[in-house]
Structure 1
Amino acid sequence: MGEKGFYISKPVGVVAIILGVGALATIIALSVVYDQEKSKNNEVSPTNGGTTSNPITTPTPSNEPWDKYRLPTSLVPDQYHVTLWPRLTRNETTGLYIFTGKSTVEFVCAEETDLILIHSNKLNYTTLENGHSARLTSAGGGVAAPSIKHSWLKIETQYLVIQLDGKLVKDQRYHLYTEFTGELADDLGGFYRSEYTENGVDKVVATTQMQPTDARKAFPCFDEPAMKAVFYITLIHQHGTIALSNGMENSKSFPIMEGQNVLVTAFAPTKKMSTYLLAFIVSDFGFVSEITEGLLIRIYARKNAIAANQGEYALNVTGPILKFFEDYYNASYPLPKSDQIALPDFNAGAMENWGLITYRETALLYDTEFSSNSNKERIASIISHELAHMWFGNLVTLRWWNDLWLNEGFASYVEYLGADYAEPSWNVKDLIVLSDVHRVFAVDALASSHPLSSNVDDIQKPAQISELFDAISYSKGASVLRMLSDFLTEDVFKKGLSTYLNKFAYGNTVYTDLWDHLQEAAVANSVALPGTVHTIMNRWVLQMGFPVVTIDTTTGAIHQKHFLLDPESNVTVPSEFNYEWIVPIRWMKTGNPQAQKWLVKKTDTFVDMKTSGADWVLANLNVSGYYRVNYDQGNWDKLLDVLNNSHQVRHKLCDMIIIRTKIIKTVLALDTTKYLSKDMEYMPWESALDNLDYFSLMFDRSEVYGPMQAYLKKQVTPVFNYYKEITGNWTKVPDGHMEQYNQVNAISLACRTGMEECQTLIKTWFSAWMSNPETNPIHPNLRSTVYCNAIAAGGDKEWDFAWKQFKNAAIAIEADKLRSALACTKQPWLLNRYLEYTLDPNMIRKQDATSTIVYIAQNVVGQSLAWDFVRARWSYIFTQYGGGSFSFSNLVNGVTERFSTEFELQQLKQFKADNAEVGFGSGTLAVEQSIERTIANIKWISENEKEILDWFTAEAKP
Structure 2
Amino acid sequence: MAADRDILPDSVKPSNYAISLYDLEYGGDFSYQGTVKIALEILKTTKKIVLNSLQLKIHSAELKTEHTKTEQTVKASDISYDERFQRATFTFDDDLPIVSSAELVVKFQGTINNLMAGFYRSRYKPTVPATASVARDDEFHYMFSTQFESSDARRAFPCFDEPNLKATFDFEIEIPKDQVALSNMPMKDVRKADKSGLQIVSFDRTPVMSTYLLAWAVGDFEYVEDFTRRKYNGKSLPVRVYTTKGLKEQGRFALEVCHQIVDYFSEIFRVDYPLPKVDLIAVHEFSHGAMENWGLITYRTTAVLFDEAKSDQKYRNRVAYVVSHELAHQWFGNLVTMDWWSELWLNEGFATWVGWLAVDHLYPEWDVWAQFVTESLQTGFGLDSLRNSHPIEVPVRDALEVDQIFDHISYLKGSSVIRMLSAHLTVDTFLLGVSKYLQKHQYGNATTNDLWSALSEASGKDVNTFMDPWIRKIGFPVVTIAEEPGQISVKQSRFLLTGDVKPDEDETTWWIPLNLKTGADTSSVKLGALTTKEHTIREIDDTFYKLNADQVGFYRVNYPPPRLVKLGATRNQLSTQDKIGLVADAAALAISGEGTTTGVLSLVEGFGDETNLLVWTQIVNALGHIRSVFSEDEQVSNALKKFTLKLVTPATEQLGWDFPAGEDFLRSQLRALLIAQAGLVGHESVVSEAQKRFKLFTSGEDTSAVHPSLRSAIFRIAVTYGGPEAYEAVKEEFKTTTSLDGKEIALLALGRVQTPELAKDFIEFNFSDAVAIQDKHSGASSLAANAKTRLTQWEYIKHNWEDVVYKQLSGNMVVLERYVRLTLNKFASKEVQKDIENFFERKDNRGYDRALGVVKDTVEGNARYKERDLEVVREWLGAKGYL
TM-score if structure 2 supplies the norm length?
A: 0.93
SS at match of 1:548: strand
**Aligned 8 A contact 1:893 1:926 in 2:** yes
**Aligned 8 A contact 1:235 1:265 in 2:** yes
Residue equivalent to 1:588: 517
From 387, 400, 414, give the equivalent of 1:477. Answer: 414
Does residue 1:556 correspond to 2:488, yes or no?
Answer: yes
Q: Structure 1 residues 545 and 303, CA, compared in 2 at 3 Å: closer, same or farther?
A: same
Does residue 1:119 correspond to 2:48, yes or no?
Answer: no
Residue equivalent to 2:599: 668
**Aligned 8 A contact 2:640 2:882 in 1:** no
Cα deviation, 1:156-206, whole Å, max 9, x if unaligned, reads: 222221122333333421101111111111111101111222258732212
Farther-moved stretch of structure 1 (563-572 vs 682-691): 563-572
Residue equivalent to 2:876: 951
Does residue 1:172 correspond to 2:100, yes or no?
Answer: yes
Q: How does 1:838-857 map to 2 (within 5 A)?
A: 838-841=766-769, 843-857=770-784
Residue equivalent to 2:858: 933
- Using the TM superposition, give the Cα deviation of residue 65 of structure 1 relative to its aligned residue in structure 2, in angstroms: 11
Q: Structure 1 residues 649 and 317, CA, compared in 2 at 3 Å: closer, same or farther?
A: closer
**Aligned 8 A contact 2:777 2:822 in 1:** no
For 1:108, the aligned partner's letter is: E
From 581, 584, 594, give the equivalent of 1:655. Answer: 581
**Aligned 8 A contact 1:673 1:688 in 2:** yes
For 1:861, the aligned partner's letter is: K
Cα deviation, 1:322-379, whole Å, max 9, x if unaligned, reads: 1111112111100110001101111111000000001111111100122122111000
Q: How many aligned residue pairs are there?
A: 855
**Aligned 8 A contact 1:149 1:164 in 2:** yes
- Using the TM superposition, give the Cα deviation of residue 472 of structure 1 relative to its aligned residue in structure 2, in angstroms: 0.9
Residue equivalent to 2:35: 102
Cα deviation, 1:76-122, whole Å, max 9, x if unaligned, reads: 111011001262522xxxx3111111110001122332221111111
How far apart in 1 are the matches of 2:881 and 2:250?
Answer: 46
- Using the TM superposition, give the Cα deviation of residue 633 of structure 1 relative to its aligned residue in structure 2, in angstroms: 3.9
CA-based RMSD? 2.2
Q: Structure 1 residues 547 and 398, CA, compared in 2 at 3 Å: closer, same or farther?
A: same
Residue equivalent to 2:394: 454
**Aligned 8 A contact 1:66 1:159 in 2:** no
- Using the TM superposition, give the Cα deviation of residue 731 of structure 1 relative to its aligned residue in structure 2, in angstroms: 5.5
How far apart in 2 are the matches of 1:942 and 1:917?
Answer: 31
For 2:491, the aligned partner's letter is: H
**Aligned 8 A contact 1:711 1:956 in 2:** no
SS at match of 1:87: coil
- Using the TM superposition, give the Cα deviation of residue 634 of structure 1 relative to its aligned residue in structure 2, in angstroms: 4.3
Residue equivalent to 1:904: 832
How far apart in 1 are the matches of 2:453 and 2:382?
Answer: 31
Residue equivalent to 1:687: 618
How far apart in 2 are the matches of 1:88 and 1:310?
Answer: 31
**Aligned 8 A contact 1:708 1:956 in 2:** no
From 247, 254, 277, give the equivalent of 2:192. Answer: 254
SS at match of 1:108: strand
Does residue 1:708 correspond to 2:650, yes or no?
Answer: no
For 1:588, the aligned partner's letter is: K
From 568, 582, 606, give the equivalent of 2:500. Answer: 568
SS at match of 1:794: helix
How far apart in 1 are the matches of 2:154 and 2:536?
Answer: 57
How far apart in 2 are the matches of 1:368 and 1:141?
Answer: 67
Residue equivalent to 1:606: 537
From 299, 311, 328, give the equivalent of 1:359. Answer: 299
**Aligned 8 A contact 2:213 2:293 in 1:** yes
How far apart in 2 are the matches of 1:774 and 1:248?
Answer: 47
SS at match of 2:197: strand
What are the ranges of 5 or more consecutive residues in structure 1 without an aligned counterpart? 1-63, 127-132, 524-528
Residue equivalent to 2:434: 497
Residue equivalent to 2:151: 213
- Using the TM superposition, give the Cα deviation of residue 424 of structure 1 relative to its aligned residue in structure 2, in angstroms: 2.7
**Aligned 8 A contact 1:142 1:172 in 2:** no
Q: Structure 1 residues 498 and 214, CA, compared in 2 at 3 Å: closer, same or farther?
A: same
Q: How does 1:274-313 map to 2 (within 5 A)?
A: 274-293=210-229, 294-306=236-248, 309-313=249-253
Residue equivalent to 2:142: 204
SS at match of 2:526: coil
**Aligned 8 A contact 2:565 2:603 in 1:** no
Does residue 1:540 correspond to 2:477, yes or no?
Answer: no
From 376, 387, 393, give the equivalent of 2:316. Answer: 376
How far apart in 2 are the matches of 1:773 and 1:107?
Answer: 67
Farther-moved stretch of structure 1 (620-629 vs 554-563): 554-563
For 2:517, the aligned partner's letter is: M
- Using the TM superposition, give the Cα deviation of residue 938 of structure 1 relative to its aligned residue in structure 2, in angstroms: 1.9
Cα deviation, 1:396-422, whole Å, max 9, x if unaligned, reads: 000110111121111111111111222
- Using the TM superposition, give the Cα deviation of residue 937 of structure 1 relative to its aligned residue in structure 2, in angstroms: 1.8
How far apart in 1 are the matches of 2:659 and 2:19?
Answer: 58
Farther-moved stretch of structure 1 (750-759 vs 729-738): 729-738
Does residue 1:413 correspond to 2:353, yes or no?
Answer: yes
Residue equivalent to 1:393: 333
How far apart in 1 are the matches of 2:209 and 2:88?
Answer: 22
Farther-moved stretch of structure 1 (347-356 vs 414-423): 414-423
**Aligned 8 A contact 1:88 1:206 in 2:** no
SS at match of 1:867: helix
Residue equivalent to 2:133: none
Q: Structure 1 residues 730 and 955, CA, compared in 2 at 3 Å: closer, same or farther?
A: farther
Does residue 1:625 correspond to 2:553, yes or no?
Answer: yes
How far apart in 2 are the matches of 1:571 and 1:898?
Answer: 28
SS at match of 1:606: strand
How far apart in 2 are the matches of 1:774 and 1:844?
Answer: 27
- Using the TM superposition, give the Cα deviation of residue 901 of structure 1 relative to its aligned residue in structure 2, in angstroms: 2.2
Residue equivalent to 2:62: 135
How far apart in 1 are the matches of 2:331 and 2:644?
Answer: 46
How far apart in 2 are the matches of 1:768 and 1:956?
Answer: 38
How far apart in 2 are the matches of 1:252 and 1:435?
Answer: 47
Residue equivalent to 1:329: 269
**Aligned 8 A contact 1:857 1:865 in 2:** no
Q: Structure 1 residues 116 and 649, CA, compared in 2 at 3 Å: closer, same or farther?
A: closer
Runs of 4+, deviation exceeding 6 Å: 64-68
How far apart in 2 are the matches of 1:854 and 1:835?
Answer: 11
**Aligned 8 A contact 1:889 1:926 in 2:** yes
For 2:524, the aligned partner's letter is: P
- Using the TM superposition, give the Cα deviation of residue 902 of structure 1 relative to its aligned residue in structure 2, in angstroms: 2.9
SS at match of 2:581: coil
Residue equivalent to 2:233: none
For 2:880, the aligned partner's letter is: E
How far apart in 1 are the matches of 2:573 and 2:398?
Answer: 53
SS at match of 2:417: helix
**Aligned 8 A contact 1:106 1:139 in 2:** no
Residue equivalent to 2:232: none
How far apart in 2 are the matches of 1:838 and 1:668?
Answer: 40
Residue equivalent to 2:160: 222
- Using the TM superposition, give the Cα deviation of residue 383 of structure 1 relative to its aligned residue in structure 2, in angstroms: 0.3
**Aligned 8 A contact 2:400 2:846 in 1:** no
How far apart in 2 are the matches of 1:355 and 1:881?
Answer: 30
**Aligned 8 A contact 2:56 2:108 in 1:** yes
Residue equivalent to 2:652: 720
Cα deviation, 1:456-513, whole Å, max 9, x if unaligned, reads: xxx2221111111111111111111111111111011001000100010000011110
What are the ranges of 5 or more consecutive residues in structure 2 without an aligned counterpart? 131-135, 230-235
Residue equivalent to 1:316: 256
Residue equivalent to 1:73: 10
Cα deviation, 1:816-874, whole Å, max 9, x if unaligned, reads: 11121122222432221221122222x10111123322222222222112111222222
- Using the TM superposition, give the Cα deviation of residue 648 of structure 1 relative to its aligned residue in structure 2, in angstroms: 5.8
Q: Structure 1 residues 582 and 569, CA, compared in 2 at 3 Å: closer, same or farther?
A: closer
Q: Structure 1 residues 330 and 773, CA, compared in 2 at 3 Å: closer, same or farther?
A: farther
How far apart in 1 are the matches of 2:819 and 2:159?
Answer: 32
How far apart in 1 are the matches of 2:691 and 2:341?
Answer: 50
- Using the TM superposition, give the Cα deviation of residue 701 of structure 1 relative to its aligned residue in structure 2, in angstroms: 2.2
SS at match of 1:680: coil
How far apart in 2 are the matches of 1:75 and 1:386?
Answer: 32
Cα deviation, 1:785-806, whole Å, max 9, x if unaligned, reads: 1111112221333222222222
